[in-house]
Amino acid sequence: MERLGPNKEINSYNPFFLLSYFFAMSQSSKKAIETKGAPSPVGPYSQAVLAGEWLYCSGQIALDPSTGEIVGAGNIEEETSQVLKNLLMVLNAGGAKASNVIRTTIYLVNLKDFNKVNKIYSKFFQSGISPARACVEVSALPKGSLVEIDCVAWIG
């Protein structure tokens, strides 16, 4: 017998037991997160999924949660601020805060906006360790948005 996690023994010679154990654990500890404080998804996905102690937040764009309209009318700074407000509402609904974020991905329609987005982003993640991240240019984003940000947070 080997130990798996705190006080959990498994039979390492039975791969079917291992597979069923991990499947059962993954199914029992997965929960969709939803909040009215952020826009409803524009497709068939959850705002976030809590899996164990990990919170996987779907990408947020600059939609006003109450109207469903894009905030900022093409102003990258205003859009970025709204995106981060939306993301914070989803994080909070999942029991996390900005300081729990481990990884982000930023999607920009124009990579020339990188410095403007960085300025606002750095204020949002100013406490503690900055998250790891990637920033990529894309050809288009939903609803004509200029920026989208998703993240992964650890709340353990």
How many domains does the structure of the chain reveal?
Answer: 2
Q: How many CB atoms lie within 10 A of CB 87?
A: 26
- What CATH number did the domain enclosing 133 receive? 3.30.1330.40
Burial class, 117, CB count within 10 angstroms (exposed 0-12 / middle 13-18 / buried 19+)? buried
- Choice among 120, 135, 141, 155 that is catalytic: 135
Q: Record the pTM.
A: 0.82
Q: Quote the domain boundaries for residue 6.
A: 1-29
Average pLDDT over every residue of 64-83: 96
Please report which helix (H) or strand (E) contains residue 101, including its range. strand 101-108
- Is 135 an active-site residue? yes
Please check the confidence at residue 3 and state whether its pLDDT lies above 50. no
Question: pLDDT band at residue 93, thresholds of 50, 70 and 90?
Answer: very high
Least Cα distance to 35 among 63, 65, 55, 14 occurs for 65
Token output for 69: 């309209």
Q: Say yes or no: 42 and 101 in one domain.
A: yes
Q: Say yes or no: 65 and 95 in one domain.
A: yes
Cα–Cα distance, 4 to 145 (Å, whole number):
45
Q: Say yes or no: 39 and 97 in one domain.
A: yes
